[in-house]
């Protein structure tokens, strides 16, 4: 039985009728409330008006990593409206379109309804089974693997945002003895690795955006899903609210995104040259001695030449920048005028606290390591760390958890993954799927026996769907927890329906970019629909069935007990407070400054109960100041020259490393711009001149951020508001280029890469550099629900090969920016 056969009774006639109703409303002006209302009404599970008392339930959004607070309006037993929780410190009452669309996910007609088993992956012949059977199959496989000493062949691929649930799964893997917990990569891949190398950080940095006076964004699309869009919108508002203290926001990107349109200044740049621009700006700051000399001399390492313990002399950052990146050269590379580079450098140094962000455009685009290192070095030049308006750290700011520590201790104490899986662990989104396929296919036998996928769709991000399918086919048991069918579910053996987060409980911990410790409660506003079950509860059932000693490590009756234990840990931290109004936040902060703490709860039980009303807990303070241990590098300072990376290079090269190899390694350890691409990328070389003259730039739109949202008509309806595009993909072409190529606005065009060719609707857009064409990411699913399957194109599939090299090799050219295409009328 196919999943779609298990759907509700919503038929094609219904759809066309409602789509027609929506079209009437949207024809004149793209989208109207009436049109959407018609669409929404027709898509609800029950068209009869709900009856019963009204109530509002606070919960936390998990539609993206942002973790906004929501208030769900309930009429009787039905959820009818979503608004922002004004007490939630991240969004303060704001809610983005994805939040508005949650009810469509909740009442989606294609929801998976019961556990399904297919004897052959990809066959589409699904057999309904009971939950007991499903739990038994997984538990038996785990027990047999443990008995055979092959527990390391179990892996969990977790796409859920950080929460108590993810901690539980980590704890579980630690208990059975597998190190293979793969958090499906999310935001800030490039910046987090740069922070690791230059600051010794174990997590992505946070930013004190609100208090910055000047923000230089290297392609970071704040308003389109980077971090939390509602938080970014709130920050934008605060930048504009203070009279006489307006923060200047400069957006540097090849395309005029919504963020760029809202910026004080948009600087169009050639794709992939952000590092060159950042270093050109660094040149201005260093050559004019505008850098923060006390910080650079006392808190940084590698600014000047230095000699290591082996007597090798190393180039200093200042020497490399002054030698290689004069503004005129940076201008040639980036296409940004010299005058602009000079001005940006001077403004950045003259407006403390000035913050540089990047270079990662969105949640799924990894950015580049060298670009991120170059951007981070700008923050170091002005000494903007651990101070208001600066780069902050999120590490260990949450109340300690005994469960997490146990798990990580087990994982860190001697259990190591096989070499191929280590490679997977260190991958970035976009590379992950390819690396997983490599790891599985390149060995004689699969290094994985059991792969458990939670709320992730790695098949969509694969550049080679067939190869990825072949890899999954080699893994004997693939278990997939999902609420809707997607590209990956079809390649699974066991499909387990999970509730949406409006039907389940969890505690979401921390949010990307946001510097404060925060724990948002996700509540079940309605009971789980159909026979879906929370993956955490299913896990506890599996543990019980496995018996001793595993059930001793996870001795919980149910998941709610785990959550309540976590709330006790939060209470024990004796800091922070429940979410409250902005004014209460101000008051709490004033108290804290004086060393006083006045929470609205007096017991752990009271905290747990009040979280249900307020939405969660947070620590409104931040310990500003360069504490000991902020920089966990070998020098205990910010390292312009990354010794961590240097040691990695030495370890890789071994003792026989030659001078050329060491020279290249030295270059990798300093922020740099990689002007050349890897030598074996013949296709790119061939296309660099005439055959493939245009750069392909992929961008995320908010409705499809993190490649999720294509299942929801609300999101399909508002894909490209600036061009009134909806329900399909499009390619943006500068009108000059389009005119030259003979492509009309709105006509079909063929897009060709060295390996692929596809047809797509062409749209003229002046907010692009003429040598660039742009396509949104998030459509073109091979599997999925009725509204996502086969709609549009997936540009990830046409990205230039060599993804695995994008972050680590000498090339450092991400496929997201190095892919070139040619276009002709279709």
Task: Name the residue nearer to other proteins (CB basis): 49 or 594.
Answer: 594
DSSP letters spanning 119-149: SSTTS--EEE--HHHHHHHHHHHHHHHHHTT
* Cβ 279 vs Cβ 325: under 8 Å: yes
User: Contact between 294 and other proteins (CB under 8 A)?
Assistant: no
| Residue from the set 9, 466, 628, 689 that interacts with other proteins by CB under 8 A | 628
Smallest gap from Cβ 205 to other proteins, in A, equals 14
Per-residue tokens: 603? 């017991």
Please give the DSSP secondary-structure letter assigned to residue 444.
S
Distance CA 384, CA 489 (A): 45
What is the distance between the alpha carbons of residues 599 and 617, in angstroms, rounded to a whole number? Answer: 10
**Per CB under 8 A, 470 contacts other proteins:** no
* CA atoms of 621 and 112, how far apart (whole Å): 42
Least separation in angstroms between residue 375's CB and other proteins is 24
Of 50-58, 248-256, 465-473, 589-597, the segment contacting other proteins by CB under 8 A is 589-597
**DSSP tag of 336:** -
Q: Which is closer to other proteins, CB of 27 or CB of 573?
A: 573
* Shortest spacing between CB 113 and other proteins, in angstroms: 44
Among 123, 413, 598, 658, binds other proteins (CB under 8 A): 598
711 touches other proteins (CB under 8 A): no
Closest CB to other proteins among residues 167, 819: 167
- The tally of CA atoms less than 13 A away on the side-chain side of residue 113 is 16
453, 481 contact by CB (below 8 A): yes
Q: Provide the minimum distance between the beta carbon of 587 and other proteins in the complex, in angstroms, as a whole number.
A: 5
Asked if 594 touches other proteins (CB under 8 A), the answer is: yes
Segment contacting other proteins by CB under 8 A, of 73-81, 215-223, 523-531, 571-579: 571-579
Using rule CB under 8 A, residue 547 touches other proteins: no
Q: Which of 396, 605, 609, 680 binds other proteins (CB under 8 A)?
A: 396
Nearer to other proteins, 396 or 680 (CB): 396
Residue 158 vs 395, nearer CB to other proteins: 395
Q: Give CA–CA dist 412/415, Å, rounded.
A: 6
- Whichever of 330 and 519 has its CB closer to other proteins, that residue is 519
Coil, helix or strand at residue 749: strand
Separation of alpha carbons 731 and 236, rounded Å: 29
* DSSP letter, residue 153: G
621, 633, 788, 806: which one binds other proteins (CB under 8 A): 621
800 by Cβ neighbours in 10 Å (0-12 / 13-18 / 19+) ranks as buried
- Joined tokens for residue 444: 């004689």
Q: Does residue 474 touch other proteins according to CB under 8 A?
A: no
Does 397 participate in binding other proteins (rule CB under 8 A)? yes
The answer to whether 623 contacts other proteins (rule: CB under 8 A) is yes
| CB closer to other proteins, 596 vs 660 | 596
591 scored as a contact of other proteins (CB under 8 A):
yes
> Using CB under 8 A, which of the segments 129-137, 443-451, 573-581, 688-696 binds other proteins?
573-581
The two beta strands, 248-252 and 265-267, are parallel
CA 542, CA 539: separation in Å to the nearest integer?
A: 5
Interaction of residue 240 with other proteins, rule CB under 8 A: no
Give me the least distance between CB of 626 and other proteins, in Å please.
Answer: 7
Q: Which of 83, 322, 526, 626 binds other proteins (CB under 8 A)?
A: 626
- Contact between residue 773 and residue 694 where contact means Cβ atoms under 8 Å apart: yes
Interface positions, 493-532, toward other proteins (CB under 8 A): 517
Q: Would you say 321 or 398 has its CB closer to other proteins?
A: 398
Query: Taking the mean position of all CA atoms in its chain, how far away is CA 418?
Result: 26
Q: Does 604 bind other proteins (CB under 8 A)?
A: no
Using the rule CB under 8 A, give the single segment among 121-129, 374-382, 567-575, 774-782 that binds other proteins. Answer: 567-575
Interface with other proteins: number of residues (CB under 8 A): 31
Kindly state the smallest distance separating residue 393's Cβ from other proteins, in Å. Answer: 8
Stretch that binds other proteins, among 258-266, 568-576, 671-679, 686-694 (CB under 8 A): 568-576
Cβ 201 vs Cβ 195: under 8 Å: yes
**Alpha-carbon distance values, 302 to 191, 382, 593 (Å):** 19, 15, 36
* DSSP secondary structure of 546-589: H-TTHHHHT--SSHHHHHHHHHHHHHHT---EE---HHHHHHHH
Note whether 695 and 823 are within 8 A (CB): no
Segment near other proteins (CB under 8 A); pick from 87-95, 268-276, 348-356, 595-603: 595-603
**Region near other proteins per CB under 8 A, out of 134-142, 620-628, 675-683, 728-736:** 620-628
456: burial class by Cβ within 10 Å (0-12, 13-18, 19+)?
buried
Residues found near other proteins in the complex (CB under 8 A): 393, 395-398, 517, 573-575, 583-584, 586-587, 590-598, 600, 619, 621, 623, 625-629
């Amino acid at each position: 039985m196919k999943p779609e056969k298990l759907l509700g009774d919503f038929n094609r006639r219904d759809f066309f009728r409602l789509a027609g109703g929506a079209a009437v409303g949207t024809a004149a002006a793209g989208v109207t409330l009436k049109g959407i209302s018609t669409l929404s009404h027709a898509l609800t599970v029950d068209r009869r008006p709900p009856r019963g008392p009204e109530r509002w339930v606070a919960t936390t959004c998990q539609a993206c990593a942002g973790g906004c607070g929501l208030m769900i309006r309930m009429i009787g037993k039905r959820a009818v409206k979503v608004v922002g929780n004004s007490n939630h410190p991240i969004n303060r009452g704001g809610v983005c379109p994805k939040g508005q669309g949650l009810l469509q996910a909740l009442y989606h007609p294609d929801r998976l309804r019961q556990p399904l088993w297919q004897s052959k992956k990809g066959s589409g012949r699904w057999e309904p089974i009971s939950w007991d059977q499903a739990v038994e199959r997984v538990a038996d496989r785990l027990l047999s693997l443990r008995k055979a000493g092959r527990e390391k062949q179990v892996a969990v691929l977790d796409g859920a945002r950080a929460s108590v649930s993810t901690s539980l799964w980590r704890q579980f893997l630690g208990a059975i003895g597998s190190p293979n917990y793969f958090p499906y990569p999310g935001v800030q891949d490039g910046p987090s690795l740069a922070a690791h190398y230059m600051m010794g950080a174990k997590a992505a940095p946070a930013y004190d955006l609100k208090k910055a006076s000047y923000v230089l964004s290297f392609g970071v699309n704040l308003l389109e899903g980077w971090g939390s869009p509602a938080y970014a919108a709130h920050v934008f508002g605060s930048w504009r609210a203070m009279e006489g203290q307006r923060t200047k926001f400069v957006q540097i990107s090849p395309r005029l995104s919504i963020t760029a349109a809202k910026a004080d200044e948009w600087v169009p740049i050639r794709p992939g040259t952000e590092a060159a621009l950042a270093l050109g700006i660094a040149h201005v700051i260093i050559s004019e001695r505008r850098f923060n000399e006390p910080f650079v001399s006392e808190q940084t390492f590698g600014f000047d030449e230095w000699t290591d313990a082996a007597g090798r002399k190393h180039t200093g950052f200042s020497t490399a920048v002054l030698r290689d990146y004069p503004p005129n050269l940076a201008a040639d590379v980036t296409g940004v005028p010299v005058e602009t580079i000079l001005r940006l450098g001077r403004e950045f140094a003259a407006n403390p606290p000035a913050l540089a962000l990047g270079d990662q455009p969105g949640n799924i685009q990894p950015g580049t390591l060298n670009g991120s290192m170059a951007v981070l070095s700008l923050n170091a030049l002005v000494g903007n760390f651990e101070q208001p308006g600066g780069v902050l750290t999120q590490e260990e700011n949450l109340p300690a958890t005994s469960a997490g520590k146990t798990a990580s201790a087990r994982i860190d104490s001697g259990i190591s993954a096989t070499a191929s899986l280590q490679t997977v662990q260190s991958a970035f989104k976009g590379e992950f799927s390819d690396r997983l396929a490599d790891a599985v296919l390149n060995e004689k036998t699969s290094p994985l026996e059991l792969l458990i996928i939670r709320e992730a769709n790695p098949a969509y991000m694969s550049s080679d769907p067939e190869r990825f399918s072949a890899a999954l086919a080699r893994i004997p048991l693939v278990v997939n927890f999902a609420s809707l069918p997607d590209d990956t579910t079809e390649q699974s053996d066991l499909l387990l329906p999970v509730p949406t987060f409006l039907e389940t409980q969890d505690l979401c911990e921390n949010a990307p970019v946001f510097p404060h410790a925060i724990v948002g409660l996700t509540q079940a506003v309605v009971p789980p629909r159909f026979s879906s079950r929370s993956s955490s509860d299913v896990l506890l059932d599996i543990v019980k069935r496995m018996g001793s000693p595993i059930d001793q490590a996870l001795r919980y009756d149910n998941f709610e007990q785990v959550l309540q234990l976590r709330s006790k840990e939060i209470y024990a931290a004796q800091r922070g407070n429940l979410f409250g109004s902005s004014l209460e936040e101000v008051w709490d902060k004033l108290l804290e400054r004086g060393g006083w703490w006045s929470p609205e709860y007096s017991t752990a039980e009271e905290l747990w109960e009040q979280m249900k009303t307020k939405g969660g807990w947070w620590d409104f303070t931040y310990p500003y100041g360069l504490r000991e241990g902020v920089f966990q590098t070998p020098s205990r300072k910010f390292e312009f020259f990354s010794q961590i990376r240097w040691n990695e290079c030495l370890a890789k090269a071994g003792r026989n490393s030659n001078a050329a190899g060491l020279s290249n390694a030295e270059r990798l350890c300093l922020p740099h711009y990689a002007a050349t691409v890897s030598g074996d990328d013949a296709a790119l070389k061939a296309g660099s001149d005439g055959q493939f003259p245009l750069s392909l730039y992929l961008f995320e739109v908010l409705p499809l951020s993190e490649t999720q949202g294509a299942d929801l008509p609300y999101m399909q309806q508002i894909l490209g508001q600036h061009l009134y595009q909806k329900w399909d993909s499009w390619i943006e072409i500068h009108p000059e280029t389009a005119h030259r190529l003979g492509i009309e606005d709105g006509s079909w065009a063929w897009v060709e890469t060295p390996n692929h060719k596809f047809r797509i609707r062409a749209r003229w857009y002046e907010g692009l550099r003429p040598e660039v064409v742009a396509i949104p990411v998030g459509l073109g699913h091979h599997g999925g629900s009725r509204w996502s399957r086969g709609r549009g194109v997936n540009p990830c599939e046409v990205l230039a090969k060599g993804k695995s090299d994008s972050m680590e090799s000498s090339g450092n050219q991400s496929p997201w920016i190095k892919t070139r295409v040619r276009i002709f009328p279709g």
